[in-house]
Amino acid sequence: MPSQVPSVLKAVLGASNKIRQQEQWHWLDNDTISCDLGVEIVGVPVTVQGNMRLIAFDDNQRCENHVTISVSTSLPFIGGTLRDFVAKDIKRVAQAEFEYIQQQIAVTAA
pLDDT per position as a tens digit, 39-93 = 999 989 999 999 999 888 888 788 888 999 999 998 888 999 999 999 999 999 9
On the question of pLDDT at 2 being above 70, the answer is no
- For 65, the enclosing helix (H) or strand (E) is strand 62-72
- Distance separating alpha carbons of residues 80 and 71, to the nearest angstrom: 10
Among 63, 52, 59, 65, which Cα is nearest to 25's? 52
pLDDT of residue 110: 72
pLDDT of residue 20: 95
Q: Are 49 and 35 in contact (CB under 8 A)?
A: no
